[in-house]
Amino acid sequence: MPVSAGGAGAEPVRRETPGPEPVRKEAVGAEPVPTEAVGAEPVPRETPGPEPVRKEAVGAEPVPTEAVGAEPVRAGAAGAEPAGGAHRDDTVRHSTTASGVSWITLNRPETLNALTPEQRERVIALLTDASADPAVRAVVLTGTGRGFCAGADLRGAPDRVRERLPGDVARTVRLGAQRLVAAVLDCEKPVIAAVNGTAAGIGAHLAFACDLVLAADTARFIEVFVRRGLVPDGGGAYLLPRLVGPQRAKELMFFGDALSAADAERIGLVNRTVEEAELEAVAAAWAERLAAGPTRALALTKQLVNDALTSDRTTAFAAEAAAQEINMTTRDAVEGVASFTERRTPDFQGR
């Protein structure tokens, strides 16, 4: 459930210009859906509605993957001009509202927002900046078009100039997908994923790393790695068992079947599923409530919860006491106590 500040049920706050573009509802099949493995077929858009986790044979349905050496992207490849003549920097849009909500929007809809290395570094930088900027008090991560993020797009990466050596792959994973997921987990501001469409591979793990996950009813989540004989990366084997338990995590990762938004909510991967047309407004409302909250207390709470499943009781209790000690030095804690004794609504400033 979202953190409430100033009373539950706050009205959605309209974002100020410039803001992220609304999630576009493009016609199915309007653009070829790129895939990220040789010979893969386009990902079909499914109709809204719950879909059980199917135990089908591995590889039953082609989906995007993150295999190196996939076919070239026809539009929006790394180093190429995005469709429509937009500047390549526009592939990650960013804006911050007057109330302190930072919107980070992946904007390569023609590739279902498959993530290039340049985009990955941009998102990491924006999350790092949001963490350190006292003017930013909440973050929303979303995408344009029919995809949230279809995985890592490595097709625009330069060809290898030398033989792959032991340690090269591990280094690539550490410095790439793992850094991205860690940037979300370590951000000192609450991060909301507004999943507007397909979230596959590292795209799914990017969503699962967020503190709160909202999903359009047309969205789906796919653990694609097994279909190409790959091991999950980007912290997937760390995140999923903590969210849904080891048995369900193995089912998702062993079979690689598409999971509907409704089923993702049912098993605990998604906080709430909403109609596609309402996703942006609900995300804005949740983010504005978080932005009006006690920012430092939220950051400390996030840290405690993220560490809880890897700590023993003694360590967890000590961390909780230390967090309370730190938080009581903040202005918002003083304001919160004062507002309680004075029987008024607190006015948190994020300090």
Eight-class DSSP state of 198: E
In whole numbers, what is the pLDDT of the chain averaged over residues? 81
Which pLDDT band holds residue 163 (cuts at 50, 70, 90)?
Answer: confident
- pLDDT tens-digit readout, 222-279: 999 999 899 999 999 999 999 999 999 999 999 999 999 999 999 999 999 999 999 9
Q: What residue spans of the chain are helical by DSSP H?
A: 117-132, 168-175, 177-186, 202-208, 236-244, 246-255, 261-267, 279-291, 295-308, 313-327, 331-341
Q: In the predicted model, is pLDDT for residue 210 greater than 90?
A: yes
Q: Are 265 and 271 in contact (CB under 8 A)?
A: yes
How do 101-106 and 92-96 pair as beta strands?
Answer: antiparallel
Burial of 12 (0-12, 13-18, 19+ CB in 10 A): middle
Higher pLDDT, 162 or 49: 162
Crossing angle between the packed helical segments 313-327 and 295-308, to the nearest 10 degrees: 170
Q: What is the reported pLDDT for 291? A: 98
Q: Which H, E and C letters describe 54-106, residue by residue? A: CCCCCCCCCCCCCCCCCCCCCCCCCCCCCHHHCCHHHHEEEEECCCCEEEEEE
Separation CA 237–CA 232 (nearest Å): 7
Place of tokens 């207390």: 297
Place of tokens 């969210």: 243
Element housing 259 (H / E)? strand 258-260
Weakest-pLDDT range from 47-56, 67-76, 324-333: 67-76
Higher pLDDT, 122 or 43: 122
What 3-state class would DSSP assign to 192?
Answer: strand
The token pair at 159 is 């060809």
Eight-class DSSP state of 142: E
Q: What is the reported pLDDT for 158? A: 58
Distance of CA 211 to the CA centre of its chain: 9
- pLDDT tens-digit readout, 102-140: 999 999 999 999 999 999 999 999 999 999 999 999 999
Question: 39's torsion region: left (phi>0), alpha (psi -120 to 50) or beta?
Answer: left
Handedness of CA 237, 256, 200, 153 (dihedral sign): positive
* Edge-first strand listing for the sheet containing 101-106: 92-96, 101-106, 138-143, 191-195, 212-216, 272-274
How do 220-222 and 258-260 pair as beta strands?
Answer: antiparallel
R_g of the chain, CA atoms, integer Å = 20
Q: What is the reported pLDDT for 164? A: 85
Eight-class DSSP state of 115: B
Separation CA 8–CA 206 (nearest Å): 28
